[in-house]
Chains A and B, each alone.
Chain A
């Protein structure tokens, strides 16, 4: 027997799977070693498949699979939707850090003079001029917001 395919192979396979043999095909099978072998193998596999498909063991619950798939889809949608926000947060953190680092030396002087000149007992009008500096307000706001964004970002990453 060579590995050259018998021209009846496909028909024999179909007949062996369905159990419907024509007399001509049956005659061929009985005289062809390759087709007899094919019939034997197909019979073994289809018999085995029927036995395994008929197992009493219950199948896993499809509802659970569907629910898991939906949860996974929601999670993926959420990740997609928040991706832009995460990038904005990253940018905010980067800007805040850059501004903070650029102004740290000058800011330290301003903060130091503000703290040393601060008299808690005095009225608001007596506060040093530096305390009302727009630059100081902007920088402190950015640092605070940047910190909050960083916290939000890290909690998102962990989640």
Chain B
């Protein structure tokens, strides 16, 4: 199977330093909710849970009174809350260990059609932390420092952790016969 290299259409939103009134919230929601839900859904594998975590993320941000410097700052803050909520969810699911589980076994991973895609199945074979880290780096374009802040990791560790996660995932993809498509420049 060949993977096409998609062109990411970055939705640029005018920076605003105003407080979070309803209009600003709706704009942030419109720009951020779908990508954030995709991230949560890929991490937990359950659409209903992803929607719950999405709502809770926005709710916590509003309740905290966080305004952020710009749209990107608020977006990162939301991802941080979402990641914390995911961590809490995984801990509740497996209270006997402090370590993140490698898979969210309790949830139906095949609930959404796209989660059953070849890439989705490959992603199921790596741990949630690897998935989150790779997503933040390569979908969200977060820097190592930002990933460290979002995932509560040491900044110095992120580079090597990211490298290892990438290698593991590449091996999984290769073992499934997935390869990058030839992109015409």
> Of the candidates B29, B117, B137, B180, which one forms a contact with A36 in the assembled complex, judged by CB atoms under 8 Å apart?
B180
* 28 pairs from A and B in contact (CB 8 Å cutoff): A3-B164, A17-B8, A18-B7, A19-B7, A20-B7, A26-B185, A36-B180, A39-B180, A40-B179, A40-B180, A41-B166, A41-B173, A43-B180, A43-B181, A44-B119, A47-B3, A47-B119, A52-B38, A53-B37, A59-B29, A60-B33, A62-B33, A62-B58, A66-B22, A66-B25, A69-B58, A69-B62, A73-B62
Interface residues of B (CB under 8 A from A): 3-8, 22, 25-26, 29-30, 33-35, 37-39, 41-42, 47, 51, 54-55, 58-59, 62-63, 112, 114, 117, 119-120, 122-123, 134-135, 137-139, 141, 159-160, 163-164, 166-167, 169-170, 173-174, 178-181, 183, 185
Chain B residue with the shortest CB-CB distance to A59: B33
**In the bound complex, do residue B139 and residue A72 qualify as a contact, i.e. CB atoms below 8 Å apart?**
no
Question: Given A44-B123, A45-B139, list of 13 further CB < 8 A pairs?
Answer: A13-B138, A13-B141, A40-B178, A42-B5, A43-B6, A43-B181, A44-B173, A46-B6, A48-B117, A49-B42, A52-B114, A55-B41, A59-B51
Tell me whether A82 is interfacial, beta carbon within 8 Å: no
Closest to B169 in A: A41
Chain B residues with CB under 8 A of A60: 33, 51, 54-55
What separation, in Å, do the CA atoms of A13 and B123 have in the docked complex? Answer: 19
Task: Determine how close the nearest CB of chain A comes to the CB of B93; give it in whole angstroms.
Answer: 21
By Cβ-Cβ distance, the 6 closest A-B pairs, closest first, are A69-B62, A52-B38, A21-B185, A19-B7, A43-B3, A37-B170
A49–B139 alpha-carbon span in the complex (Å): 7
Q: Which residues of A contact B163 (CB under 8 A)?
A: 3, 5
A37 touches B166 (CB 8 A): yes
Count A-B contacts at CB 8 Å: 145
